[in-house]
Structure 1
Amino acid sequence: MIEILVLYYSRSGATAEMARLVARGVAEIDGVSARLRTVPPVSTVCEAVADTIPADGPPYATLADLRDCSGLALGSPTRFGNMAAPLKYFLDGTSELWLSGALAGKPAGVFTSTGTLHGGQESTLLSMMLPLLHHGMLLLGLPYTEAALETTRSGGTPYGPSHHAAAGDKRLSSDEKALCRALGRRLADTARRLAGA
């Protein structure tokens, strides 16, 4: 079975909802499934500060989840134009996968949520791509053949899905939802094609 890892960090729930929609898009492609995983929060001295098993929601990601996936969707809320520290902390611990080339050649995409419309969505998406490029992953964005990129009045970029959580409103617009599912489908279809090659 071809499996796409949907790995995210979420504080208020908007990024988690995006992750579920990406996973739903993955499941729309025959022969491909999604695995939802999150990461624990970190302390101010950059240590994981949660129990090893979350109280609710998906389990915390392991290096094995990354190693064994056929593709990756990576999501984070925006923190000053960058990914949140818990996700960066997790990625900083993936050196053994980098050394072995375990992620090289696998498709990947990114998604984010911001509290303000111009709060750094695109810079966050680009910053999330950097470690994936170092791992040799094949980055996928969203082409303008996705009609929602032309009609969105909130989130959505060619670099990946995004969400504008205006004044704490976690509800995604119909365009934002469509773009999340589109990323999932693209990752799943690409992973399936690569597996067939």
Structure 2
Amino acid sequence: MAKVLILYHSAYGHVETLAKAVAEGARSAGAEVDIKRVPETVPEELARKSGFKLDQEAPVAVIGDLENYDAIIVGGGTRFGRMSSQLATFLDQAGGLWMRGALHGKVGGAFTSTGTQHGGQEVTLFSIITNLLHFGMTIVGLNYGFQGQMRLDEVTGGSPYGATTIAGGDGSRQPSENELEGARYQGRTIAEVAIKLHG
């Protein structure tokens, strides 16, 4: 059985919701799945004032966790067209794993959330994917088998590079069922590839 890690940072809960959907998809393929979050680097008082969602149930990951999985699916919100500093700070600490080639051949993927439709979703996915490629991982996106990413009857996230959601400028929009289904599809697809490669 393949082991899959869903690793994420979520300031306001949108990425946390996507992470749970990605995990559902991976479990549906028969994988063993853990959801963990990266440490929050914003001081707690400032995070509270900023409305961060601080009651997230996922345990906090440590760098050493990463080599224990066959697949790692990384999610985080967009910050000016790139991954959040919290997520970048965590991945920046993985130099020892990179030096040892500890993540070579593992399966990877990315998912994200932005405030607006054109707020940098694809660029953010690529900023995550770039890190995973440097670690020697095999990348699996959200292929067009998930037709929901092509819908024109509603505003929706999703791209061939990974599952996404649109939070709205004030963060009030929650992931739609279509976006959650895209996250489940990507999680299932990545788990299926990991099972074929490592199962």
Question: What's the TM-score, normalizing by structure 1?
Answer: 0.90
Aligned counterparts of 1:139 and 1:27: Cα–Cα separation in 2: 19
Show the counterpart of 1:114: 114
**1:151–1:175 contact (8 Å) kept in structure 2:** no
Equivalent position amino acid for 2:23 in 1:
A
Show the counterpart of 2:96: 96
Q: CA deviation at 1:98?
A: 0.4
Equivalent position amino acid for 1:187 in 2:
I
Deviations 1:101-151 (A, max 9, x none): 111111100000011111100100001111111100001111112111222
Show the counterpart of 2:46: none
Show the counterpart of 2:23: 23
Show the counterpart of 1:174: 177
- Deviating beyond 4 angstroms after TM superposition, the runs of 4 or more aligned structure 1 residues are none
**1:13–1:170 contact (8 Å) kept in structure 2:** no
Aligned counterparts of 1:88 and 1:40: Cα–Cα separation in 2: 11
Aligned residues: 186
Go from structure 1 to structure 2 and tell me whether the alpha carbon gap of 1:182 and 1:55 turns closer, same or farther (over 3 Å shift).
closer
Show the counterpart of 2:49: none
Gaps of 5+ in 1: 45-53
Q: Secondary structure at the match of 1:168?
A: coil
Gaps of 5+ in 2: 44-53
Show the counterpart of 1:38: 37
Show the counterpart of 2:124: 124
Q: Secondary structure at the match of 2:111?
A: strand
- Counting only pairs closer than 5 Å after superposition, residues 54-93 of structure 1 correspond to structure 2 as 56-93=56-93
Show the counterpart of 1:144: 144
Deviations 1:135-183 (A, max 9, x none): 0000111111211122263211000001011242242112101110011
Show the counterpart of 1:189: 192
**2:19–2:75 contact (8 Å) kept in structure 1:** yes
Asked if 1:135 corresponds to 2:135, the answer is yes
The one of 158, 161, 168 aligned to 1:159: 161
Alignment root-mean-square deviation, CA: 1.6
**2:63–2:90 contact (8 Å) kept in structure 1:** no
Equivalent position amino acid for 2:22 in 1:
V
Q: CA deviation at 1:55?
A: 6.4
Aligned counterparts of 2:148 and 2:37: Cα–Cα separation in 1: 27
Question: What's the TM-score, normalizing by structure 2?
Answer: 0.89
Equivalent position amino acid for 1:177 in 2:
L
Aligned counterparts of 1:120 and 1:181: Cα–Cα separation in 2: 22
Q: CA deviation at 1:63?
A: 2.0
Aligned counterparts of 1:20 and 1:86: Cα–Cα separation in 2: 19
Show the counterpart of 2:51: none
